[in-house]
Amino acid sequence: MSKILVFGHQNPDTDAIGAAIAFSHLQNQLGKETEAVALGTPNEETQYALDYFKLSAPRVVQSAKEEATQVMLVDHNEFQQSISDIAEVEILAVVDHHRIANFETANPLYYRAEPVGCTSTIILKLYKENQVELPKEIAGIMLSAILSDTLLFKSPTCTSEDEAAAKELATIAGVDLTSYGLDMLKAGTNLSDKSAATLLDLDAKSFPMGEANVRIAQVNTVDLSEVMARQTELEEAMTEEMAKNGYDLFVLVVTNILDSDSELLVAGQGLDKVEEAFQVKLTNNRALLKGVVSRKKQVVPQLTAVFN
97 is in an annotated binding site: yes
DSSP readout, 109-150? -EEEE-SSS-HHHHHHHHHHHTT----HHHHHHHHHHHHHHT
Instruction: Please indicate if the annotation marks 261 as binding a ligand.
Output: no
51 is in an annotated binding site: no
**Residue 9 annotated as binding site:** yes
User: Is there a binding annotation on residue 15?
Assistant: yes
Residue 223 marked in a binding site: no
Show binding-site residues for Mn(2+).
9, 13, 15, 75, 97, 149
Show binding-site residues.
9, 13, 15, 75, 97, 149
